[in-house]
Structure 1
Amino acid sequence: MLEIWQQFKQNYLIKYWNPVAAVIAAGLLSAYYFGVTGTYWAVTGEFTRWGGHALQTLGVDVSEWSYYKIIGMEGTIFTRIDGVMILGMFAGCISAALWANNVKWRNQPHKRRIVQALIGGALAGFGARLAMGCNLASLFTGIPQFSVHAWFFTLATAIGTYFGVKFTLLPMFRVKLELKKGAAKLKETDPKQASRRFWLGMVVFFAYLIASLYVMTHSIKLGFAMFCGLAFGLLIERAQICFTSAFRDLWVTGRAYMAKAIIFGIMVGTIGVFSYIQLGVSPKIMWAGPNAIVGGLLFGFGIVLAGGCETGWMYRSMEGQVHFMWVGLGNVIGSTYLAYAWDDIAPALALDYEKLNLLKSFGPVGGLLVNYGLLILCLIAVIWWERRFLAKAKAKIAASAQQSCGC
């Protein structure tokens, strides 16, 4: 039995998980999450509420802000579905990181990177809330809702990340390497540290799991949200799921592994959400206006500048990477500022436009086919780009080899 446990522990709790399988699992789980709670897997809306609560603590009255009337400010982080789900994500992330002894305080020594994290995070937070959702609510779980705004946001995000990559490759973002005199000293490690951290991770995991099961006896939705958040946290940390890397890899290296995984996950989530919609659960449809496009551009640019998206900064900050804590702070600041500016920009960018639903525009079967058709086109485009990029890279290498040998 001990040998079986050790093998299970090593293969499933310590080693990284297959990203494709993990993203597909996240897509399936997000469909169940929608069916039970009636909402989608989303985080930036709750971050915006955190900003509102912070302002209230400072004496600012946000009760008349239209944006907070739209997303709601009732309750606390412990009584809202989004709140307990996000707490679950943090619990899942720290549990998984502790299991693998992957927690280490990694400070950011360069002030330039801190500024970059704050500005990028703020742009991403502002853009996400302008579009009524980030890489989750307006992409991964937004597309399965059959909302046209999610398609506008996704395409704009891809463009935004492309320009973000070009911008961050400028010389101004290069940090000089500092070589210190003297031989590097290897830090002695505590051989029992990994074991202690593993069991601490188990304590965190089971404490939140038991709490979620207990809450289910009083509120199915709230308890299930806690449970799903814990599972989402495990998935994103163990599989290192980051939407920023999915887009950035396409433009920098041509690698499409994570992008294809995300498309597969959306495909799985789509049929699950469609089933619940047919059973009477109302989808989340948002304005398909310039807000989705402008928001997507800002979000895409921001996550590349910051170095991580919402899922990315959450699990990396739980691993002790201080840079991504600054990204998270920037997210809250940017999303809260959008709530402040909403009344001035919403009529022109969002409120005068329709909330377009593919299932209403094309009928249930037609809308499903259109959604899958667009996803297949995205998959084809990603594969084409990957092959084109790699072919050009190989041709360039071959040409350089010929020049060097004088052929």
Structure 2
Amino acid sequence: MKEHFKNVYRTLCVENWSPLIGGIMIAFFVILLEMWYRPWGIVGGLRNWADWVFYGLGLYEDAPPHPLWFSSSVLNIGFLWGAFISATLAREFSLRVPPGIEFVKAIVSGILMGIGAALAMGCNIGGMYMAINNLAANGLLMWIGLVIGVRFAVKYLYWEIEHLPSGGGFEINLSKINPLLAILAIIGLIWAGKAYFGSEKDMGATLGGCLILTAGIGYAMHRSRLCIVNALREPYMSGEATMARAVIVSLLLTSIGIAIIKLAGIRDEMAYVTPTFGLGALVGGIIFGFGMTVAGGCGSGSLWRVAEGQLKLWVVAIFFGLSNSLVRHLFSVYEILYVNEDGELVSKWLGKSVFLPDYLGYAGTILLIAVFLFIWRVLVDWNEETNRFVLEL
């Protein structure tokens, strides 16, 4: 019995899961989260934390929502918590300090990610992954922008390797205290969930469910090391397509699940359908794709790397949130984004809201997404054999 327990523990908590298993598990939790309350997102929580910084400095007049009672913030807290539990159970949490030049890249790439996510009204998760899952045309357009941005970034990274070689960096190994940190984190998550579910506030139970479900997403993403940067970058660098295949399967499963949720009227059809089908999604995707590739982590990938102690990604996340907060604040001040008389969010020049079933029906939309994913899969498989898209160093 002891050996069986060790084997199960090692399989669930220590060994890396395959990206495919991670993609399937994430799709499961994402569908549950949307049924429970709302779609998954990353940048809204980071922006909420940054809003408090600028409010504290006196730059913003109105106080933002409290981070513990704002759903976007709670989603990120849960995600970080789950990823931290995964990292500590596997003894993978340590403070990793990169070379100095990496901190400069972290600042610049974080700012670019914040600007790109503001234009697209979402990072690679809210603007692409969840937008496609929610049957929004802007998600497909942002995917195109991300692919373009990643290609430019790979060329830059090759130039950097040749002209700006860097070395150094060090690690503060904390593996010995990881088991203790894991126990404290698990107890803390249970206590926080109990506090939310036992709260007398209207949103208490709702946010408690959000916390637990996103902890599951964070755990699964860290254990499988699922990364959309990797899925879009490796076809250009090594030709390897394992991560891309996992993301494709995850997108297909989640799109079908959320289509059923919306068709059944459980969630509003326009959820995560933003007025960015146009320049917002395309240009925002290009800028964000470049930034996330140089950063070494996308919206979600940056956060699970934060949870395992990657200090470069701590800096990326900070400047990602700060720049996104400032740009979105300017959008509001200059009415680039505003709410019209019908209560709809509209944009002057970012684009328009396009819910694909309004034009193709639900069956036609799922067919379109399936064809798109099929073509993506064929291309990455073909490239893995031929290296047709691989850029030479």
The TM-score with structure 1 as length reference comes to 0.85
Offset at residue 75 of structure 1 (A): 2.8
- Give the match for residue 315 of structure 2: 326
> Unmatched 5+ residue regions in structure 1?
64-72, 180-186, 397-407
Please state if 1:360 is matched with 2:358.
yes
For structure 2, list consecutive stretches of 5 or more residues without a partner in the other structure: 338-345
Equivalent-residue separation in structure 2 for 1:229 and 1:389 (angstroms): 36
2:340 matched to which residue of 1?
none
- Residue by residue over 1:332-378, the C-alpha shift from the partner in whole angstroms, topping out at 9 and shown as x without a partner, is 1221221133255837x943532111111111222222222222222
Change over 3 Å in CA distance of 1:215–1:23 after alignment to 2 = same
Distance 1:358 1:313, change over 3 A: same
Distance in 1, matches of 2:69 and 2:119, equals 25
Query: Following TM superposition, by how much is the alpha carbon of 1:144 offset from its aligned partner in structure 2, in angstroms?
Result: 1.0
- 2:340 is the counterpart of 1:351: no
Is residue 249–residue 255 contact of structure 1 (8 Å, CA) maintained in 2?
A: yes
- The one-letter amino acid of 1:255's match is E
Q: Deviations over 1:225-248 (max 9, x none)?
A: 011121111112111122112211
Q: What letter is aligned with 2:104?
A: V
Identify the range of structure 1 (286-295 vs 215-224) with the bigger mean alpha-carbon deviation: 215-224
CA distance in 1, matches of 2:390, 2:82: 41
Deviation at 1:173, TM superposition (A): 5.8
Structure 1 residues 56 and 175: alpha-carbon distance in aligned structure 2, compared to 1, 3 A threshold? same
Residues 1:124 and 2:122 aligned together? no
Which residue of structure 1 aligns with residue 67 of structure 2? 77
2:306 and 2:205 mapped to 1: Cα distance? 30
Specify the alignment match of 2:209 in structure 1.
Answer: 224
Distance 1:253 1:62, change over 3 A: farther
Partner residue, 2:368:
370
The code of the aligned residue for 2:21 comes to: A
CA–CA distance in structure 2, aligned partners of residues 62 and 178 of structure 1: 43
Contact 1:291–1:350 (8 Å) recurs in 2: no
Is the contact between residue 85 and residue 229 of structure 1 (CA under 8 Å) also seen in structure 2?
yes
Q: Give the secondary-structure state (helix, strand or coil) at the position aligned to 2:108.
A: helix
Report the residue type matching 1:253 in the other structure.
S
Structure 2 residue matching 1:106: 3-state secondary structure: strand
SS of the equivalent of 1:78 reads: helix
What amino acid is the match of 2:68?
F
**Where does residue 115 of structure 1 map in the other structure?**
104
Mapping of 1:77-156 within 5 angstroms? 77-110=67-100, 112-156=101-145
What is the CA-CA distance between 1:382 and the residue it aligns to?
2.2
The structure with more radius of gyration: 1
Is residue 153 of structure 2 the alignment partner of residue 164 of structure 1? yes
> What's 2:291 paired with?
302
Provide Cα deviations, 1:121-150, integer angstroms capped at 9, x if missing partner.
110121012101111112222101010011
Secondary structure of the residue aligned to 1:141 is: helix
One of 232, 236, 255 as aligned partner of 2:221: 236
CA gap of 1:346–1:382, structure 2 versus 1, over 3 A, is farther
Letter in 2 for 1:145: N
Distance 2:359 2:70 in 1: 32
Q: Secondary structure at the match of 2:122?
A: coil
Query: Following the alignment from structure 1 to structure 2, what is the Cα–Cα distance between the partners of residues 379 and 120?
Result: 28
Q: CA deviation at 1:209?
A: 3.1
Counterpart-to-counterpart distance in 1, 2:33 and 2:389: 41
Q: Distance in 2 between matches of 1:178 and 1:212?
A: 41
* Alignment-mate amino acid for residue 373 of structure 2: L
Contact 2:239 2:390 in 1 (8 A): no
1:278 to 249, 263, 280: 263
1:40-78: per-residue Cα shift (whole Å, max 9, x none)?
110101211222111111112254xxxxxxxxx753111
1:12 matched to which residue of 2? 12
Residue 226 and residue 167 in structure 1: after superposition, are their counterparts in 2 closer, same or farther (change >3 A)?
A: same
- Alignment partner, residue 254 of structure 1: 239
How many Å apart are 1:177 and its aligned residue?
Answer: 4.2
Verify the 8 A CA contact 1:168 1:305 in the aligned structure 2: yes
Specify the code of the residue in structure 2 equivalent to 1:366. Answer: G
Does 115-124 or 82-91 show the bigger shift?
82-91
Distance 1:318 1:292 in 2: 29
Deviations 1:148-179 (A, max 9, x none): 01111011101100101101211476324479
Which residue of 2 is the match for residue 42 of structure 1? 41
CA contact (8 A) 1:55 1:62 kept: no
Check the 8 A contact 1:45/1:129 in 2, yes or no: no
2:300 alignment counterpart: 311
Letter aligned with residue 53 of structure 1: W
Relative distance call for 1:117 and 1:6 in structure 2 (3 A) is: same
Aligned to 1:58: 57
Which amino acid in 1 is paired with 2:43? T
Q: Secondary structure at the match of 2:67?
A: coil
8 Å CA contact 1:17–1:239 kept in 2: the answer is yes
**Paired letter, 1:45:** G
Q: Which amino acid aligns with 2:83?
A: C
Give the structure-2-normalised TM-score: 0.87
CA RMSD of aligned residues (A): 2.6
Residues 153-192 of structure 1 mapped to structure 2, 5 A cutoff? 153-171=142-160, 174-177=164-167
Change (3 A) 1:56 1:252: same
* Superposed displacement of residue 199, structure 1: 4.1
Relative to structure 1, the CA distance from residue 74 to residue 59 in structure 2 (aligned partners, 3 Å threshold; closer, same or farther) is: closer
Distance (Å, rounded) in 1 between the aligned partners of 2:389 and 2:137: 34
The corresponding residue for 1:340 is 329
Give 2:342's aligned residue.
none
Q: Which residue of 2 aligns with 1:399?
A: none
Matching residue's letter, 1:323: K
- Match of residue 384 from structure 2: 386
